[in-house]
Structures are given as structure tokens and as C-alpha cells.
Structure 1
Amino acid sequence: MTMPEAQQSESLSAAEEPVAEGTGSREALDPGAGTGTGEGADGATAGARPEDRLERAVRAAEQALIEYEIALETFRVEVENFSRLHHQKLGPMYTRLDELEAEIAEAQAARTGDAEDILRAQEARARVMPMPGVEELFHGWMDSEEGLFAEAEAMLTDRPVRPPQRVRPSEEARRLYRTLVRKAHPDLAQDEAERKRRDEFIAKVNTAYGRGDEAQLRELTEEWAAGPTPEERRPSRSEELYARLEWLAQRKELLSFAARELEESAIGSMLRLAPDDPDSLLNDIAEQLLAQVAEKEAELVALRG
């Protein structure tokens, strides 16, 4: 997946036009206002208050932002899962290649006794077991928001953890995830207490989706359906709605920045090579690495005679 759903940002941009084209502009809020025809052919909404039209613009912007966040989160899960599975499945092959490179360089140095060959052998051996820095020691073990990652916590507490089985969760998991986020997104809350409840619930939804856990997502669907029904949204004042649109625009800008960072990362760039089936990309890379290993082993045998 290479963020094809990021096209949702276009609908968000359209919903933001009241802010971009000037506050208080009737034409900016209602394209048909200047003609007296309103938004429909029957002129049913021609006499609607500016607050009503602005309310609809805010609702459209909220929904567009939620869709964009869904696209970003699904892509983030694929990037994270691909990174972990890449290390888990292909890490030993990379280690074997480094070891073969070192042994080949050492065999060459032993054969020639040349100072440059000896230096190259020493450098190749150093790459096999590099001394990690502080950041490398903790990379992948700490989450800036949640603390320890599941794998790290499992190792420290002896509790089992379920790693992702695939880069891309199943279609059913994706469907359940999208449905839950659209219903329970914190931005739809009416007050701080409701927002807190939704924040906690969505955190559980994101965790289950990251594992591709369909059963857990179904349980969360039932949990949300059985929960308290939020109060119906009350009409807002114009200034509150304009402030809301401005916040949505800023939020979308931050999400766009995060999306660019993911797409331009090393793993994101690799995923663009196989947007339709990222899981197959791991198998393709594995085959290439196996071929390289076989080639290096043959080269080492030839050097050693």
C-alpha cells in the first residue's frame, strides 16, 4: 500500500474552502447562494442560515479527516509490520552475508599478505559484529507514547506476545477497523469525558488491528455497540465552527507531514515496490539473498582451494 487512500485529503481540502476563501463569505459557503438557487434544484436550502451551511462544511471536513487518518494508520501498520517481519525473516540472511564477506576478505588477505587486503579484511570483520550506539540499543524497544513495545514487555515479563503474521492485515480486519474508527473516532466527541472514552477505545482498536486480530476487532465492535450512545450533536455558533475548520486544516497538515515521512522512509520506499501484495515482497527479497549467499559461498570455496 502506498497511501492510495490519501486522495481523501482532496475532499478535506474542499471542505476547508470556507476558511481558505474568506470568513463570512456567503458564496464561499454556498456556491449557489449568489444565484438564488441554493444547493438543490428545488431551492429547498436556499434560505438556510449561514450556521447551517457552515455546520455541514465542518461535518464534511471531519469525515474527510477521519478517512485520511484511517488511510495513514493502515499504511503505518504495514510499514511497522514489514519492518519487523523483514528483520525477523531476513535478518539471519543479512548476517550470513556479512560473515561470508568477512571470511572472503580474510581468505584473500591470508593469500596475498597485502596490507590493503588485511585492512579490508579487518573492516569486513568489524561490520559483522558492530558496536551498537545507545540509540541502536533501544531502537525498536521503546514507544514514545506507550512505553515498551509488546515484544520488549513480553521478554521482560515472560508473557507471550503475538507478532504480526502478515504485513497487511486481512480484508476483514481492515473492514472492521475502518468501521470502528468511523464510529468511535475521538474527533466526534461532544465533551472531554466522551473524548477520553473514545481515545482509550481507539487505542485498543489500533492495537488489535496492528496484530491483524479479527476476533478482537469483532469483540470491540460488540463492545462499542453495547456502550453508551453519545448525545446528538447540538448546533454550534459560527465562530466555533470556523475555529473547528481551522483546527481540522491544521490537523490534516500534520497528518500529511507524517504520511510523507512514512512514504519516504526506507521501509515505505520498499513497500512501494509491491503496493498490491507487500507480503510477496519479503519472499522476493529472500530469494535474492539466498542467491547472493550461494554466490559468496562458492567464491569462498574457490579462494580456500
Structure 2
Amino acid sequence: MLPEEQELVRLEAEQAELEEQVTTAELALETLKVELVQFQYRYYQGPGRLYAELDSWDARIAMNEAGMHPNDVDVQLRAVAAEEQAKCSAEEAGIIKKSPPPPPEITQEAKQAFRRAAKLMHPDRATSDEERKRRNEIMAKVNIAYENGDQDAIEKLIIEFGQDPEAIQGDDIGSRMIKALRRIAQLRGRSVEIEKELAEAQKHELFELFVTVKESEAMGSDPIGDLIQEILKQISERKIQLELMNESVTY
């Protein structure tokens, strides 16, 4: 076997190993994302909605106090803060819809990046049906990035297009080596991205709560159920407090 053939075998073996590692990491990342979404839904359907109701009762109590002390600035500010907290809790629990985010700003730099991408990878520049399909797929990603005003994403897609292993034509040893080298670089880059995404997900408060609940349930506890009972107790206390306040005003 020639030296270049041995190197090709080594590169393709390394590529296959990296592909397996990245596939495993992708599965772990996507599984975590799904589990967090499921947990978030479960949490907001239970404690989340009850916390929103509790905050709503706190806001009513605060507004009552504000009505009883119209000249007390601190009391008025607490009432405003309580109302805002109740609104935020209701939005998080899905009881009321959040205000839609403002549309992204399309900067001049983003427009220039889009022009560079379109000139480089437009499907009309393809010389085969396979190449046209590849270009269509990546231009669709460019269009989405542009609509989101995401210049960095467009720049990244331009770089990836230039380094895409699929752009290499031919089946000779040299072409296969270049293709393998590009794919290895691509896989290593994706591996780093996955590590960053996992680290970001694990920094979130929801992840910490998810892990705590999961560990407790594995030991036979019911932390969600216990929390629900505690919040219901607090809601009952707030109702009584508000009734007593209204009675005192009446008398």
C-alpha cells in the first residue's frame, strides 16, 4: 500500500470515529433539550400556574394596601411591582400571551453579508443537480439568518460553504484526502459547539431544578406534588388575608 493510501485509510478511520463521537454527543444534547422542554411544560402546568395565581393574590393585596394608603409612595411602588410580577408569572406559565418581540433590525452589514453569500452560493451557479440541491439547502439557511438579522450566522455559513467537503469533486486519492480533512475539521468544530451548547443548557436555573427533581423522584420523593401543596396553602392564606382586609375597610 502506497504512503498516500495509508494516510487516506488513517484519515477516513479518524473521520468515522469522530462521526460516531459527534453523533453520540448530538443525541445527548437533543435528548437533554427534549427533557428540559417536557419538564418545563410539566412544571408550568403544576407549580408554575399556581405560582402565577399566588402572585395574582399578592398583587390584589398590594393594590388594596395602595388604596388604603394613597399618599404612601413605598406602598404604591410595591403595588406596581406586585402587578408586574403577577403579569410576568402569568406569561411564563402560559396563562397570558407574551408581547411579541420587536422585529430584528437588518443592518447594512447584514445586507452586505447576504450579498456576498448570494454571489458565492446561489443555486444558479451549480453545474449539477446534486450541487444545485446543496446550494438550495444552504441558501435557505442564509435566508433564515437574514430574516433574523443575524449577520454572524450568515458569515459562518459563508465560511462553511467554502470548507464544505461535498464541494470536492472526484474520487481519486487526493480528492478523498481533502474531503476527509475537511470533514474532520467540520466534525471537530461541531464537537466544540456541542460542548458549548451543553454547558449553556446546564447553567440555566431550569436545568438545576430538573436535576434536583429527577434525583428526588428517583429516591421515591414527590417534590412537585409537595410544592403544589405548599403553594395551595399559601394561596389559601392570601385569600383569607384579603378577606380580612376587605372586612376591616367595610367596618
TM-score bracket for this pair, using the shorter chain length: 0.5 to 0.7
Could you tell me which amino acid in structure 2 is paired with residue 124 of structure 1? A
Q: Which has the higher helix share?
A: 2
Give the Cα separation in 2 of the matches to 1:91 and 1:275. Answer: 17
Find the partner of 2:86 among 128, 146, 152: 128
Please name the residue that 1:244 is paired with.
183
Give the Cα separation in 2 of the matches to 1:252 and 1:74. Answer: 16
Find the partner of 1:257 among 174, 186, 196: 196
Could you tell me which amino acid in structure 1 is paired with residue 239 of structure 2? E
Please name the residue that 1:79 is paired with.
36
State the Cα distance separating 1:274 from its structure 2 match: 3.0
Please name the residue that 2:209 is paired with.
270
Find the partner of 2:53 among 96, 111, 132: 96
Identity of aligned residues (%): 22
Could you tell me which amino acid in structure 2 is paired with residue 294 of structure 1? S
The alpha-carbon distance between structure 1 residues 265 and 126, as it changes in their structure 2 partners (threshold 3 A), is closer
Q: Deviations over 1:153-201 (max 9, x none)?
A: xxxxxxxxxxxxxxxxxxxxxxxxxxxxxxxxxxxxxxx69x99xx9xx
Give the Cα separation in 2 of the matches to 1:72 and 1:133. Answer: 29
Unaligned runs of 5+ in 2: 89-96, 103-129, 138-171
TM-score normalised over the length of structure 1 = 0.45
Q: Which moved more, 1:253-262 or 1:103-112?
A: 103-112
Please name the residue that 1:287 is paired with.
229
Give the Cα separation in 2 of the matches to 1:292 and 1:79. Answer: 27
Please name the residue that 2:107 is paired with.
none
The structure that has the greater radius of gyration is 2
Could you tell me which amino acid in structure 2 is paired with residue 66 of structure 1? T
Preserved contact between residue 52 and residue 86 of structure 2 (Cα < 8 Å)? yes
Give the Cα separation in 2 of the matches to 1:239 and 1:278. Answer: 51
Give the Cα separation in 2 of the matches to 1:281 and 1:262. Answer: 22
Give the Cα separation in 2 of the matches to 1:238 and 1:271. Answer: 45
Please name the residue that 1:160 is paired with.
none
Q: Which moved more, 1:105-114 or 1:68-77?
A: 105-114
Q: Which moved more, 1:258-267 or 1:104-113?
A: 104-113
The alpha-carbon distance between structure 1 residues 112 and 277, as it changes in their structure 2 partners (threshold 3 A), is same
State the Cα distance separating 1:281 from its structure 2 match: 4.9
Question: Alignment length, in residue pairs?
Answer: 169
Q: Which moved more, 1:52-61 or 1:243-252?
A: 52-61
State the Cα distance separating 1:250 from its structure 2 match: 0.7
Give the Cα separation in 2 of the matches to 1:245 and 1:278. Answer: 41
Find the partner of 2:25 among 68, 71, 78: 68
Could you tell me which amino acid in structure 1 is paired with residue 29 of structure 2? L
Q: Deviations over 1:131-164 (max 9, x none)?
A: 953229xxxxxxxxxxxxxxxxxxxxxxxxxxxx
The residue correspondences of 1:143-292 to structure 2 (distance < 5 A) are 237-276=176-215, 280-292=222-234
